[in-house]
Structure 1
Amino acid sequence: MEPILTAVAAWLDMTGIGPWSRGSALVYPVANTLHLLGLVMLVGGIGTVDLRIVGLWQRLPVADLSRALTPVAVAGLVLMVASGVVLFAADGAALARSAIFERKLILIIAALANAAAFRRVWNPHMTRWTDGAPLAARVMAGASLLLWLAAGASGRWIAYG
């Protein structure tokens, strides 16, 4: 993955995003704050839905909760991608060589694949889950929660790796 990330970092420098993100005292801290806000929106939104599917808050209809909170989670993901590009551009060459950063990207890819598979397989059936979700759906929801939390934690650990 390092050659791809190195090429992306070079491209961000060529477009001016890299120098811009490094050249201002405000850009990096604002991008970092927006990245954290995106994480809160993503994990808060989809994490609540995941916990409901796993078995908490049985009185709340899972389909309604998902319909209400999935857009919040998606908006958080979009915010994280946009701010993440700025954060990566500030130190792309070093991040391209970071094993922790690579693990974070792998966790994000796994979480997105899990989310896509869940939506494809289970979304049409959620309105019928009055007595709880099937075991496979609960396992996927638990995996979603763990994957997103691990990706977020990996992002925090980059500075120490």
Structure 2
Amino acid sequence: MPELIRLALEHLEAMPPSTWLRRSGTLYLLVNAAHIGAIGLLIGSIVPLDLRLLGVIRSPHLAVLAPVLARTAAAGLGLALLTGALLFSVRPQEYLQNPAFVVKMGLLLAGTLNAWLVHRGRAWTGVLDGGSPADGLRLQAGASMLLWLGCLVAGRWIGFL
């Protein structure tokens, strides 16, 4: 690992939140539980939305369902990123050496980029206006499910390596 990165990670590990989490089993437990809850919120929102976009679920109407589930997934993602960063700060060098963590971060980045592209596209605007999902949007919904579920599996994999 390059010296500058190692020093930055040591600095991160020495910051007060990291120290508090290492010293308090209860605080670590609560942040970890919040992380799991956030992941549940994200996956629990994105999977039904993706299934609806794919046509596996036929109702309710996408114009009603999509904005609510998208905002809920975004809130889950935001909370997962915050709590995940706190958990990472406890042992950053160990996490970066864990292949499952690296895979999870790649999938997280790809899933977030996919979601951003979906919401920037005309097909998403068309869905919100009451239209049917275009084939490209269906493809993105399928990719979304694979990326987020892969991220979930990779996250669980971290503890086994």
Q: Give the whole-Å Cα distance in 2 for the aligned partners of 1:51 and 1:80.
A: 22
Q: Kindly indicate whether structure 1 or structure 2 has the higher relative contact order, using CA contacts under 8 Å at least 6 residues apart.
A: 1
Identity of aligned residues (%): 29
Q: Give the whole-Å Cα distance in 1 for the aligned partners of 2:6 and 2:107.
A: 19
Q: Are 1:87 and 2:73 an aligned pair? A: no
Q: Are 1:48 and 2:48 an aligned pair? A: yes
Residues 124 and 137, structure 2, Cα contact 8 Å, conserved in 1: no
How far apart are 1:6 and its partner, in Å? 4.4
Letter in 2 for 1:125: G
SS in 1 for 2:25: coil
Q: What's the counterpart of residue 150 of structure 2? A: 150
Q: What's the counterpart of residue 120 of structure 2? A: 120
Residues 124 and 133, structure 2, Cα contact 8 Å, conserved in 1: no
The unaligned stretches of length 5 or more in structure 2 are: none
**Structure 1 73/6 Cα, relative in aligned 2: closer, same or farther at 3 Å?**
farther
Residues 42 and 73, structure 2, Cα contact 8 Å, conserved in 1: yes
Kindly provide the CA deviation profile for residues 93-122 of structure 1, in whole angstroms up to 9, marking residues without a partner as x: 200211110110010000011111111112
**CA RMSD across the alignment:** 1.8
Letter in 1 for 2:55: G
TM-score in terms of structure 1 length: 0.89
How far apart are 1:46 and its partner, in Å? 1.6
TM-score in terms of structure 2 length: 0.89
**Structure 1 11/62 Cα, relative in aligned 2: closer, same or farther at 3 Å?**
farther
Residues 50 and 144, structure 1, Cα contact 8 Å, conserved in 2: yes
Report how many aligned residue pairs link the two structures. 158
Q: Give the whole-Å Cα distance in 2 for the aligned partners of 1:76 and 1:116.
A: 15
Q: Give the whole-Å Cα distance in 1 for the aligned partners of 2:133 and 2:38.
A: 28
Q: What's the counterpart of residue 96 of structure 2? A: 96
The unaligned stretches of length 5 or more in structure 1 are: none
Residues 54 and 142, structure 1, Cα contact 8 Å, conserved in 2: yes
Letter in 2 for 1:148: W
Q: Give the whole-Å Cα distance in 1 for the aligned partners of 2:81 and 2:89.
A: 12
Q: Give the whole-Å Cα distance in 2 for the aligned partners of 1:78 and 1:11.
A: 24
Q: Give the whole-Å Cα distance in 2 for the aligned partners of 1:5 and 1:87.
A: 18
How far apart are 1:146 and its partner, in Å? 1.0
Residues 18 and 86, structure 2, Cα contact 8 Å, conserved in 1: yes
Q: Give the whole-Å Cα distance in 1 for the aligned partners of 2:59 and 2:86.
A: 41
Letter in 2 for 1:120: R
